[in-house]
Amino acid sequence: EVQLVESGGGLVQPGGSLRLSCAASGFTFSSYWMHWVRQAPGKGLVWVSRINTDGSSTNYADSVKGRFTISRDNAKNTLDLQMNSLRDEDTAVYYCARYYYGSTGYYIDYWGQGTLVTVSS
Amino acid sequence: DIQMTQSPSSLSASVGDRVTITCRASQSISNYLNWYQQKPGKAPKLLIYTASTLQSGVPSRFSGSGSGTGFTLTISSLQPEDFATYYCQQDYVTPLTFGGGTKVEIK
């Protein structure tokens, strides 16, 4: 069974930092691209970042570029998101998500349960 | 960035109703369109990928169609467990973008 379990969320002051982690199990982690997607309270889904299978290629939403860094450890089956210079508008539930990239299409097929990040003074 | 526009933003329907949600892309995305269902307090769940392919385990009352810039998600006979928010998402180019969501409520 595919499982994605996020951790590391919490309350942080504006300008602060937080590191989110996602523990993956039930599949060959090193074979899948991975994403972070966030959802502000009561709002819709917003893509944040993605990383390829070996970590050599990453992409970011303009709103987080230069502040957030996505990384992975295929030996430990973990995905991380280092978030610096946090702003009020970064307050959201952050989801770790597995990405299928193959002959039948491109799509996020599994999501974690999410971890809440609250940026407030 | 490609803008995804869903309509309606919300709807009220009864069990057994046929429900259609539309999603329009600001430019052609071929068939790189996915649909997700999200219930309150839960993570999204993949329903349909590449516009019309049903994800394994998803009931056949769900169907998707369209290509280019216009897409639809249809629920042929609404069931109590289908009351949720539905999102479309384009995977044609980065950044991935989602529609604003359609909340399906009980009439």
**Are the C-beta atoms of residues B62 and B80 closer than 8 Å to each other?**
no
> How many angstroms away from the CA of A39 is the closest CA of chain B?
10
Q: How many whole angstroms from its chain centre is CA A76?
A: 16
Structure confidence at residue A104 (pLDDT): 83
Question: In the predicted model, is pLDDT for residue A51 greater than 90?
Answer: yes
Phi, psi of B91 (to 5 degrees): -125, 35
CA distance B39 to B19: 17
Residue with tokens 């990928």: B49
> How many angstroms away from the CA of B6 is the closest CA of chain A?
12
Q: Which residue of B has its CA nearest to A4?
A: B43
CA distance B13 to B16: 9
Averaged pLDDT, A18-36: 98
B18-76 pLDDT per residue, tens: 999 999 999 999 999 999 999 999 999 999 999 999 999 999 999 999 999 999 999 99
Structure confidence at residue A9 (pLDDT): 97
> How many angstroms away from the CA of A119 is the closest CA of chain B?
20
Residue A104 and residue B97: Cβ atoms within 8 Å? no
Question: In the predicted model, is pLDDT for residue A121 greater than 90?
Answer: yes
A55-90 pLDDT per residue, tens: 999 999 999 999 999 999 999 999 999 999 999 999
Q: What is the DSSP letter of B96?
A: P
Q: Which residue of B has its CA nearest to A64?
A: B95
β-pairing, B62-67 vs B70-75, is antiparallel
Establish if B62 touches chain A: CB-CB under 8 angstroms: no
B94-104 pLDDT per residue, tens: 999 999 999 99
Q: Which residue of A has its CA nearest to B3?
A: A46
Query: What separation in angstroms does the CA of A19 have from each of A80, A104, A117?
Result: 7, 33, 10
Task: Tell me the pLDDT band of A1, cut-offs 50, 70 and 90.
Answer: very high
Residue B46 and residue A95: Cβ atoms within 8 Å? no
CA distance A109 to A107: 6
CA distance B62 to A92: 29
